[in-house]
Amino acid sequence: MTDVKRYPFARSFTALFFLYLYLPIGVVIFFSFNENRLVSVWTGFSLKWYDSALANRALMDAVKISLTVASIATVLATSVALMAALVIVRGRDVKFRRLSETVVNLPLLLPEIVLAVAVLILFSQLGLQNGMAKLIIAHTAFCIPFAFLPIRARLQGMEPDFEEAAQDLYATPWTTFRRVTFPLIAPGVFAGAMLAFVISMDDFITSNMLNSGGSTTLPVYIFGLIKQGTTPELNAISTLIVLGSLILATTALILTFRSEKRA
């Protein structure tokens, strides 16, 4: 097998790629500590924009709405994705297995604007007026495939020997799932849940389509700030979002590493 590092300029190209990818994020984080109100003019270190962001009631309301919608949508989407993965991967004599898997993954194949318009029309026809309920239902729908993929991958990589051994010892299907299957696929379930949570928190198109009074999510609120002009407060918000994403990603990696180490 050829070592990739032997290719000319491989290391330089890789370094330039990651620099291009993460340098803008680094600039945002750096200027979030700028004392000056002008975003690109550094005058000194200050944390006042973080204080300003945390004291912004409208911003905190948007954060609460996003966290509420993302948390509920994550629980619902992960539950549906787990049941779908168990049926598709472990189910016996399942008819139209490939078609069922395609249906579950369909939101990944369609442009999000199409899904946003579809749910907007659906809720209009149903007469649903509650903004939070619309957001939760819509976010759950498009988060299901993101939760499904890691769970399915974990199930496919797990040999059925342990489950068959539990059944040979007269364990019920529920006991087998609770004592054997779920502990073994827990890292995949957690990874799918975290992915669904991040996707829900990050969503703008669907949230903007369904936006109504009292249901403004954080991405929609940030978009409103950008239209008024970039401020250091926006940099502070973005830095806090990056920090939260890093915490979630690190937690997922640690749990996955511990699970692989035990195996």
Return the pLDDT at 200: 92
**Does pLDDT of 74 surpass 90?**
yes
- How far apart (Å, rounded) are the C-alpha atoms in residues 153 and 128? 36
Model pTM score: 0.82
State the CB neighbour count (10 A cutoff) for residue 32. Answer: 23
What mean pLDDT do residues 142-161 have?
89
Confidence of residue 149 (pLDDT cuts 50, 70, 90): very high
**Does pLDDT of 79 surpass 80?**
yes
SS3 breakdown of the chain: % helix, strand, coil, rounded to 5?
80, 0, 20
pLDDT 10s digits, 50-70: 888 888 888 888 889 999 999
Residue 246 exposure: Cα atoms within 13 Å on the Cβ side = 7
Asked whether 49 and 32 are in contact (CB, 8 A), the reply is yes
- How far apart (Å, rounded) are the C-alpha atoms in residues 232 and 48? 9
Calculate ∠ Cα 91-140-135, nearest 5°. 165
Indicate whether 11 belongs to any domain: no
Indicate whether 83 belongs to any domain: yes
Residue at 175: amino acid letter: T
**Does pLDDT of 172 surpass 60?**
yes
Return the pLDDT at 240: 86
Indicate whether 171 belongs to any domain: yes
Indicate whether 169 belongs to any domain: yes
What mean pLDDT do residues 200-210 have?
89
Return the pLDDT at 96: 82
Return the pLDDT at 99: 86
- How far apart (Å, rounded) are the C-alpha atoms in residues 246 and 238? 12
Indicate whether 232 belongs to any domain: yes
pLDDT 10s digits, 13-61: 888 989 998 898 888 888 888 888 777 778 888 888 888 888 888 888 8
For the chain, the domain total comes to: 1
- How far apart (Å, rounded) are the C-alpha atoms in residues 140 and 119? 12
Return the pLDDT at 92: 76
Residue of higher predicted confidence among 181 and 229? 181
CA dihedral sign of residues 138, 142, 143, 147: positive
Hey, which of 100-109, 144-153, 247-256 has the most confident mean pLDDT?
144-153
What mean pLDDT do residues 173-186 have?
87
pLDDT 10s digits, 128-141: 888 889 999 999 99
Indicate whether 33 belongs to any domain: no
Return the pLDDT at 139: 93
Indicate whether 40 belongs to any domain: no
Task: Report how many helices (DSSP H) and strands (DSSP E) the chain contains, helices first.
Answer: 12, 0
Which structural domain range is residue 224 located in? Answer: 57-262
CA distances from 215 to 72, 120, 248 (A): 14, 15, 24
What mean pLDDT do residues 113-127 have?
89
Indicate whether 248 belongs to any domain: yes
Phi–psi pair at 45, nearest 5 degrees? -80, 140
CATH number at residue 84: 1.10.3720.10
Averaged pLDDT of the chain: 85
**Does pLDDT of 263 surpass 60?**
no
Return the pLDDT at 259: 63
Return the pLDDT at 4: 60
Return the pLDDT at 170: 81
